[in-house]
Amino acid sequence: MTRRFLGVATLTLILAACGGGGAAPSAAPVSSPASAAPASKPAAAASGAASASAKPAASGAAAASGAAAASGSFDGTILLGAPLSLTGSTSNEGKLTKDGYDLWVDIINSKGGINVGGKHYKVEVKYYDDQSKQDQAALLTDKLISQDKVQFLLGPYGTASTFAASAISERNKVPMVDTAGAALSIFERGFKYIFGVLSPGVKYLTGVEDAWLAQSPKPTKAAVLSANDAFSLEVGKAASDYAKQKGMDVVYDQSYPADTKDLSSALNQVKAGGADVLIGSGHLDDSLVMMKQVKSLGINFKGIALSVGPSTPEFSKALGPDADYVMSGVQWVPEQKDKDAIIGSAQDYAQAFNKKYGYVPEYHNAEATAGGVVLQMAIEKAGSLDRDKVRDALAATDVDTFFGHVKFDSKGLNSDKPMVEIQLQNGGKLIPVWPEAAATGKVQWPMPAWNSR
C-alpha cells in the first residue's frame, strides 16, 4: 500500500530476474545509514506474563514447548527477515506492522519456540528500514536472503514494497508471508512463494457502501478520490464500480499525486458536483489532509469513508472529535469471535498486545501477527525447515486463527476473507457497524454538519 512505484529500469531488472534468465539486482549500498544496518536487534524471548495474557489453547505440543521455555533450552534458531517502512511516508503503518510481528515472536519464544519435528526453535526477526521506498524493499530483501541467510520472509508494509520484495523472494524460492500488501496485482504474476493473509483490496470499501445504502435517506451521489498508487487505485476503482452497480451516480472519480499536501481543488470540484458521500482511497497522511480540508472548506457529507487511516491511533489523535462519524473497512477487530491454539482468541490477543505496547491493537497489528502464526503453522505442519516443504504447507493452508479463517487460493491469496466495516463514534471509539452479524453498534447517519457538532 505504499505510494511510490519502482523506476522502470529497476522494476524491469527485478522482473527479468524472476523469469529465470536475468541477473539478480545488485544489493548496492543504501544511502541511508538506517537502511544499511538492521533497524533493531532481533526480538528477545518474551516474559511469562505475555504468554499468560494470550491464554493460548492447551495442546501436547504447546506443553512440550512450555517445558523447553521453562528450561531455557532451544534446539536452534529460525531467522526470519522483513524490510519495513520504519521511516518515510508510511512509517506509522510500518511501526504498527513491526509491533505485530514482535508480539508474535515474544509469545512464541515464551512458549518454547516453533516445534519442528519434535525440536524447538527460537524465532528471531531481522529488520531493515526500507524508508517507505519499494526499490529499497527489493534491495534489502536480496540482502536478507543473500547476506543474512534468513530462512523465511515476512512481508514489508504496503502493496508497492510487497510487489517488489516478492519478486526477489520468488527468484530465490524463499517463502514470503505477505501481511500488508492487498492489491490483486501482487498475486497475478504466477508466483509460487508469496502468500497473503489479507482480504484483497477490492473489498476494502464496498462493505461501507452496503452499510450506507441500508440507511435512510440513502445516498445518491458519490465522489471518489484515490492516491496514485496501485493499492489505492484498485480500492478506489472497486468502490466506484460498486457504487454505480448499486445505482449511485459517481459525480467525481479522480486520482491525486503521491504525498499530496493540498486536495482543496479536487474537494471544491466534489462540492460543486453535489456528492453526498465521499470515498477516499489512500493512506494515513492522505486521510488526514483530506479530513482537515473537508472541514476547512465547510463541505458537509452524509458519510465519509477512508481506506487507510481511521483505524490507526494517529488518526483520532490528529483530528480529535472531527474524526467521529468517519467509516472504514478493516481486516480485523478485537470483538470478533475467532481464535486459534497459538494466540488464543481475538480478545486474548488484544489483551496481550495492550499489555506490551499500551494501546489497543488494530488490524495492521493483527494482520502482522497473523502472518507469523500462519508461517508457524506451516513450518510445524511440514515438520521441516526445508523451504519447498514449507511452501507446500503454506499452499495447503486452510486454518482458523484469531485473525479469522485463512485459506490460500491457487494464487496465494486469502480471497474469501471478509472485511468488517467500522465507524468512529463517541470520541474516536472504533465501533464495528457492518455487516450486522459482526456489528456491536449501529451506523450513525447522516453525519452532522460541521457547524452543528
Domain residue ranges of the chain, discontinuous segments joined by +? 8-200+334-407, 203-333+419-452
**CA distances in angstroms from 384 to 76, 91, 106, 121, listed in the order given:** 13, 35, 22, 11
259 pLDDT tier (thresholds 50, 70, 90): confident
pLDDT of residue 272: 97
pLDDT of residue 205: 97
Other CB atoms closer than 10 Å to residue 453's CB: what's the count?
Answer: 11
One-letter amino acid identity for 353? F
The architecture in CATH of the region 203-333+419-452 reads 3-Layer(aba) Sandwich (3.40)
Alpha-carbon distance 100 to 114, whole Å?
Answer: 17
pLDDT in tens, 338-390: 999 999 999 999 999 999 999 999 999 999 999 999 999 999 999 999 999 99
pLDDT of residue 13: 39
Q: What is the mean pLDDT of residues 51-62?
A: 34
72 pLDDT tier (thresholds 50, 70, 90): low
Residue that the C-alpha cell 524491469 belongs to: 12
435: cis peptide before it, omega within 30°? yes
Alpha-carbon distance 57 to 199, whole Å?
Answer: 26
Alpha-carbon distance 422 to 330, whole Å?
Answer: 7
One-letter amino acid identity for 133? K
Does the structure show a pLDDT above 90 at 90? yes
273 CB-near residues (< 8 Å, 6+ apart): 221, 223, 251, 252
Q: What is the mean pLDDT of residues 180-201?
A: 96
Strands of 48-88, DSSP E? 76-84
Alpha-carbon distance 353 to 378, whole Å?
Answer: 23
Helices (H), 345-386: 346-357, 363-382
Of 265, 284, 268, 263, nearest in space to 326 by CA:
284
pLDDT of residue 144: 98
Fold match, 8-200+334-407 / 203-333+419-452: yes
Does the structure show a pLDDT above 50 at 22? no
pLDDT of residue 21: 34
Alpha-carbon distance 204 to 327, whole Å?
Answer: 11
For 92, the grid coordinates are: 506509522
Q: What is the mean pLDDT of residues 205-233?
A: 96
The more confident residue out of 71 and 184 is: 184
Of 3, 152, 164, nearest in space to 91 by CA:
3
pLDDT of residue 53: 31
The more confident residue out of 380 and 9 is: 380
- DSSP-derived letter for residue 257 is -
CA 256 to the chain's CA centroid: 22
pLDDT over 90 percentage in the chain: 82
* pTM (2 d.p.): 0.81
Alpha-carbon distance 43 to 30, whole Å?
Answer: 23
Return the HEC string of 277-338.
EEEEECCHHHHHHHHHHHHHCCCCCCEEEECCCCCCHHHHHHHHHHHCCCEEEECCCCCCCC
pLDDT in tens, 232-246: 999 999 999 999 999
pLDDT in tens, 138-179: 999 999 999 999 999 999 999 999 999 999 999 999 999 999
Alpha-carbon distance 447 to 178, whole Å?
Answer: 36
Q: Three-class SS of residue 251?
A: strand
pLDDT of residue 374: 98
Question: In the CATH hierarchy, which fold is given to the domain comprising 8-200+334-407?
Answer: Rossmann fold (3.40.50)
Q: What region does 72 belong to: left with phi over 0, alpha with psi -120 to 50, or beta?
A: left
Q: What is the mean pLDDT of residues 128-139?
A: 97
- Mean residue pLDDT of the chain comes to 87
Least confident of 34-48, 98-112, 181-195, 313-327: 34-48
Our CA dihedral for 144, 147, 151, 152, rounded to 10 degrees, sits at 20
446: cis peptide before it, omega within 30°? yes
